[in-house]
Amino acid sequence: MRVILIGPPGSGKGTQGDLVGNKYGYPKISTGDILRLEVQEGTPLGKKAKAAMDQGDLVSDDIVVEIVKKRILQPDCSKGYVLDGFPRNVSQAQGLEEMEGNRAEIVMNISLTEKALISRLSARRVCFRCGAVYNLLARHPKKDGLCDVCQSKLIQRQDDRPGVIKERLKVYHRQTEPLIGYYKEKKVYHRIDGEGKIEAIFDEISSILDREIILQEEVDAAR
Ligand SMILES: [Zn+2]
């Protein structure tokens, strides 16, 4: 089973991906995490990615597809895996289909209004030293502006500023609408309301996934 979580930045799909991974024993593959690691390490791939992210742009399909491909061929992905942040557009989805066309898949789109997303994202602060993430709305540091873990200064990432967020969302929607159409046509698409509590959203995702897993087992048994 391949679980694809789509949703704009700030939709909470990373959290939902962790929950799905833990419950079903699927590794969660977050392209955002992998890319950020490349950026921190300053690899050639990371440098290219950083230049794009600083502009509020998305990283090129070629770079992202290469990274994901390496990851899903690992043995821990044989039973299933969760993709968080990939594919972002139809071209990447086709790349995925070429890599692994036979695997059963389910796509869940966690949706929120632009207003809710901007308020969530612009409240995010990150420790420049250890990378701990805070949110002035939900997870406030104990001392204003300082990391609980290492007492270093908290910063607002370039791509969490409102102007950049709006640009990111515009790019996101432009690329994601055709992707949604692509998965609707494949009849694997589900829309999830992302405004509620984490637990309620996860219950909805779980019940859809449970149903799909049972269906898939019946298909496999009939073969
Ligand atoms: Zn810190």
| Distance between CA atoms of residues 108 and 82, nearest Å | 11
The full set of domain ranges for the chain reads: 2-113+176-222
Residue 58 has pLDDT above 80, yes or no: no
Look-up: residue for tokens 């607002």?
A: 156
With a CB cutoff of 8 Å and minimum separation 6, the contacts of 19 are: 198, 202, 205
Least confident of 34-43, 83-92, 94-103: 34-43
pLDDT (average), residues 64-82: 88
Phi, psi dihedrals of residue 6, rounded to the nearest 5°:
-115, 155
* Catalytic residue of the set 13, 28, 50, 120: 13
What is the layout of strands, in order, in the sheet containing 81-84? Answer: 28-30, 81-84, 2-6, 105-111, 189-193
* Catalytic residue of the set 157, 161, 166, 184: 157
| Distance between CA atoms of residues 25 and 2, nearest Å | 12
Does residue 13 have an active-site annotation? yes
Mean pLDDT of the chain: 91
Please tell me the predicted confidence (pLDDT) of residue 60.
85
Which of 207-212's residues contact partners 24+ apart within 8 Å by CB, and which partners? 208/106, 208/108, 209/1, 209/3, 209/20, 209/24, 209/106, 212/1, 212/104, 212/106
Burial class (CB in 10 A: 0-12, 13-18, 19+), 70: exposed
What phi-psi label fits residue 151: left (phi over 0), alpha (psi between -120 and 50 degrees) or beta? left
The token pair at 207 is 């019940």
pLDDT (average), residues 105-113: 95
Please tell me the predicted confidence (pLDDT) of residue 172.
87
184, 25 contact by CB (below 8 A): no
Please tell me the predicted confidence (pLDDT) of residue 177.
94
Query: What CATH architecture does domain 2-113+176-222 belong to?
Result: 3-Layer(aba) Sandwich (3.40)
Distance from the alpha carbon of residue 156 to the mean position of ligand 1, in angstroms? 13
Please tell me the predicted confidence (pLDDT) of residue 37.
80
Query: Which band of pLDDT confidence, cut at 50, 70 and 90, is reported for residue 51?
Result: confident
Distance from the alpha carbon of residue 154 to the mean position of ligand 1, in angstroms? 8
Does residue 166 have an active-site annotation? no
pLDDT (average), residues 81-109: 91
147-179 pLDDT tens trace: 999 999 999 998 899 899 999 899 889 989 999
Cα distances (Å, whole numbers) of residue 12 to 43, 56, 82, 176 = 28, 19, 14, 17
pTM of the model: 0.78
Does residue 174 have an active-site annotation? no
Please tell me the predicted confidence (pLDDT) of residue 203.
97
Distance from the alpha carbon of residue 183 to the mean position of ligand 1, in angstroms? 40
Distance from the alpha carbon of residue 153 to the mean position of ligand 1, in angstroms? 8
pLDDT (average), residues 42-56: 85
Residue 129 has pLDDT above 90, yes or no: yes
Where b means 16+ CB within 10 Å and e means fewer, 1-39 reads bbbbbbbbbbbbbbebbebbbeebebebbbbeebbbebb
Please tell me the predicted confidence (pLDDT) of residue 3.
97
